Amino acid sequence: DIQMTQSPSSLSASVGDTVTITCRASHSVRRFLNWYQHKPGKVPKLLIYAASSLQSGVPSRFSGSGSGTDFTLTISSLQPEDFATYYCQQTYITPPETFGQGTKVEIK
Amino acid sequence: EVQLVQSGAEVRKPGESLKISCEGSGYNFTTYEIAWVRQPPGKGLEWMGIIYTGDSDTRYSPSFEGQVTISVDKSINTAYLQWGSLKASDTAIYYCARRETYYYDSSFGTYFDYWGQGTLVTVSS
């Protein structure tokens, strides 16, 4: 299996801050990397696919970058509705299409 | 409107069997794969396996191979996840998700674009 490691596991930030979450793969996944947002009691929501392609309807303050083994999700000007847990997922090697362990973004 | 509707919460004892369902609507069910994703209490998302709804071919994560069975009934647009003998460690929310495919740089990538609402499975004596 390809292992996906996110950092940090959690962070505290204020509304208006820029937040960066990183995801590292144990082997190259080229650019086959997705990002999801998951709020308590809700279903996960796709934000980014192919490392940097914004899913339709997702605000442009979300952006993704990276290739190979190192990827980044950036949230510019954090909004109250952005407090959630974020997961990366590789889909280059399947099965399984591994998720990272998650990064919880909390209000400071 | 695309929808995945899962069956309701279940409570079972260790050793019991269980089958939960995921019904798709609003799209051509057999042209998309359905995956199952587990979320234990307080933990992250785990990819369990996937079924190709057109031909019922399945792929499992090594962590779940032999522990669960994924199946489909195309006639009623429904995918299933079942256990033969539940353990307390199977307590979790289980999501089904539709897998979309895209073409990029001479290869195919995938992502989950629609999710079921989740089914809470509680296994306790």
Q: Indicate the average pLDDT of chain B.
A: 97
Contact A36 B45 (CB under 8 A): yes
- Between chain A and chain B, the number of residue pairs with CB atoms below 8 A apart is 78
Closest Cα in chain B to A45: B113
Q: In angstroms, rounded to a whole number, what is the distance separating the alpha carbons of residues B104 and B101?
A: 10
- Closest-CA distance, B30 to chain A, in angstroms, reads 20
Average pLDDT along chain A, 108 residues, taken 10 residues at a time: 97 96 97 97 97 97 98 96 97 95 95
- Is pLDDT at B121 greater than 90 in this prediction? yes
Smallest CA-to-CA distance from A42 within B118, B99, B94 is with B118
pLDDT score of B111: 98
- Closest-CA distance, A42 to chain B, in angstroms, reads 7
- Closest-CA distance, B77 to chain A, in angstroms, reads 21
Q: Which two tokens stand for residue A48?
A: 């980014």
- Which of 30-49 (A) contact B at CB < 8 A? 30-32, 34, 36, 38, 43-44, 46, 49
Q: In angstroms, rounded to a whole number, what is the distance separating the alpha carbons of residues A64 and A54?
A: 8
pLDDT score of A9: 98
Which residues in chain B have Cβ-Cβ distances shorter than 8 Å to A101? 44
Is residue B54 within 8 angstroms of chain A, CB to CB?
no
In this prediction, residue B105 has a pLDDT band, given cuts at 50, 70 and 90, of confident
- The values of phi and psi at residue A73, to 5°, are -110, 125
pLDDT score of A97: 96
List of E strands, A39-98: 45-49, 53-54, 62-67, 70-75, 85-90
Whether the bond into A8 is cis, omega within 30 of 0 = yes
Q: What digits encode the pLDDT tens for the residues B26-51?
A: 999 999 999 999 999 999 999 999 99
- The SS3 assignment for A82 reads helix
Smallest CA-to-CA distance from B121 within B94, B95, B103 is with B94
- Is pLDDT at B15 greater than 90 in this prediction? yes
C-alpha pair distances (Å), A6 with each of A10, A70, A87, B26, B44: 10, 10, 8, 35, 12
pLDDT score of A82: 96
- The SS3 assignment for A81 reads helix
Instruction: State mean pLDDT over B57-86.
Output: 97
pLDDT score of B122: 98
DSSP assignment of B58-121, as one string?
A: EEE-TTTTTT-EEEEEGGGTEEEEEESS--GGG-EEEEEEEEEEEEETTEEEEEEEEE---EEE
- The SS3 assignment for A108 reads coil
Contact A94 B110 (CB under 8 A): yes
Q: How far apart are the first and last CA of chain B?
A: 40
Give the angle subtended at the CA of B65 by the CAs of B59 and B71, to the nearest 5°.
55
Q: In angstroms, rounded to a whole number, what is the distance separating the alpha carbons of residues B63 and B44?
A: 15
- Closest-CA distance, B50 to chain A, in angstroms, reads 9
